[in-house]
Amino acid sequence: MGLFWSACRPSALPPLPKVYDPHSNARADQAYVTHMALNVRVDFDNKQISGKATFDVVVSDKNTLMLTLDTRGLTIDSVKLDQESSMANYALDADIPNSDYASDSSAIQISSAQATMGQALRIFVAPTTKEVHVYYRTGHEADALQWLAPAQTEGQKKPFLFTQSQPNLARTWFPCQDSPGIRMTYEARVQVPPGLMAVMSAEGDTILHADGIYQFRMAHAIPSYLVALAVGDFGFRSLGPRSGVYAEHTMLARAAAEFTDVEAMIAAAEKLYGPYLWGRYDLIVLPPSFPYGGMENPMMTFATPTIIAGDRSLVSLVAHELAHSWSGNLVTNATWGDIWINEGFTTYFERRIDEAVFGRSFSEMEAHLGHQDMQAALKELGTESPLTKLRLDLNDLDPDAGHSGIIYDKGYHFLRFMEEQIGRDRWDAFLRKYFATFAFQSMTSERLMNYMRTELIRGDRALEEKLQLDQWILGTGLPSVCPVPQSDAFTKVEEEVKKWKSGVPAKQLLTSSWQTQQWMHFLRLLPENMKTAQLTSLDEAFNFTRSGNAEIQFEWFQHVITHKYTPAYARLEHYLTHIGRRKLVFPLYRKMASDPEMRIMAKRIYAVARRGYHPVTYGSIDEILLKK
């Protein structure tokens, strides 16, 4: 096949996992994809991606002779086999048609798709089939895609498009076997309007092409959720020999200044857990509607502009996304029920990078805030909730249902506990071997536990009992042996809070050297029953309402909502209409929705803000504001 770079295919893919994925129609036991070539056109006028996806396939079941791909809302125009000499017989979310395999006709019957599964595209193949070509178009409700008008961008002049495929939205913009346990290499030819630039989670150029045609290749096998595309009016600035940042031109200098520590982070990560295997590490700062803090697309981290604080205080998010280059992209959860293997390992790795680059004090503040987030998640879910397990049963749930502080910080605290019990040197050696042994493979909780028992416990019953693997991974709630991070910097904050509560004016508190994390801790410690005069004095002293730091504003606005502090309402509304990061806006809407008076305000703001949010964000908010 190989439209562009046939060399990008590996000689052999990693062993195919035999794991059932409840969130994919794919049947890798029958036939699976090893390589994809996209040849697509991006149409801003019609908000559509159209073209051809060509797949290299391995037919593993010579009796069934069927390749099943995930789609959701795609229009399938035609399917062809091998050198496109014959039309394929296929069905879209329907029973297998009763027609002869050799026929040139195709049968399409569209039934109502399940909410997240979409329509299975079942393609008849021959025992000797090597290539399958699918001509398709995206629909208007392709939830992976966010099309932004010029007014929704920083530059205000040209449109913007970005994708967000995790957990199972890749199927809304290209047909694929949309399971994290199935990997493929890919290449792409993308045509965009002249004057716009395109980047992907792959090797490509850093310059604007006058003809609007860009070519990419990803030589390593990755899951479909890591295929990513962004198109817009942005530029590139180098950060070091193997790193750089893309951003809209009006933000490029600020972004480059914020990310000056990236090369040091890469060096620290490699020293910890082995070589960075992806070549380059670049970032792109997306418009504010991006629904996450960051997305670990290989070679190209997608980042929210809310981390551009001007003082590099929020760049631990970059450490997190970089760490995913090992934990997540290199060794990947086999299903979304094992997402803690991605996020828990990455949170641990992130804080080890933070410690190496910024010092132990900084990483302990981050760990302490994470511990608070975990406790809040446990309180919200209930300690007996099955969603407080690390290994989740999501068979009847949306794959995003388990996305909470549990997978990040219970996972982190488990790995920190392992480090403390085993010793840092031995633990680090184990992790280096783990990443090397399972590179470009999928991982389940059961497989990981077996590996830990083989490599670490080695039949030592006393150590097995001490580590409590089953309780940590398969149990609800939190084991009593969970470590509690200690932060001297936070102790100083707590002393100042006590002084303020005793009547010391806010302006007299010793805060001049505080970092963002200390301010967040301070705001979290404030009482739930403050008077308006107290909020006014705090705001006058520290200018929380007009802070340029999105995380500090988030903590402050929760008090604004609780205490109905009207002087900050205008800035709260501005915040909610100019930021689309789900972590920062959803909790504020939820808090407002719990009060009848504030709920009216929330619905009024949301009526304006919703059109600027990504489906990942508005899907969550719709549940609390629009559905009865």
Catalytic residues: 321, 408
Residue 89, amino acid: N
| CA atoms of 171 and 169, how far apart (whole Å) | 5
Closest CA to 321 of 340, 341, 345, 346: 346
Which helix (H) or strand (E) covers residue 29, if one does?
none
At 261, give phi and psi (nearest 5°).
Answer: -90, 5
Query: In 3D, which of 157, 222, 226, 161 has the Cα closest to residue 192?
Result: 161
The residue whose two tokens read 């809304």 is 172
Q: Name the percent of the chain in helix, strand, coil, to the closest 5.
A: 40, 20, 40
In which residue are the tokens 């199935």 written? 182
Residues 129 and 579: beta-carbon distance below 8 Å: no
Cα–Cα distance for residue pair 609/596, rounded to 1 Å: 20
Q: How far apart are the C-alpha atoms of 346 and 288, rounded to whole Å?
A: 24
Dig out the tokens for 380 from the structure.
């919200």
Q: CB burial class (10 A; 0-12, 13-18, 19+) of residue 585?
A: buried
Alpha carbon separation from 31 to 68, 77, 122, 272, 602 (Å, rounded): 7, 22, 11, 38, 49
What six digits make up the tokens of 571?
A: 């800035």
What is the DSSP secondary structure assignment for residue 610, as one 8-state letter? G
CA distance 37 to 548: 43
Here the contacts of 290-293 (C-beta below 8 Å, separation 24 or greater) are 290/146, 290/162, 290/164, 290/580, 290/581, 290/614, 291/164, 291/580, 291/581, 291/582, 291/613, 291/614, 291/616, 291/617, 292/164, 292/581, 292/582, 292/583, 292/616, 293/317, 293/320, 293/581, 293/583
- The region that residue 31 occupies, defined by phi over 0 for left and psi between -120 and 50 for alpha, beta otherwise, is beta
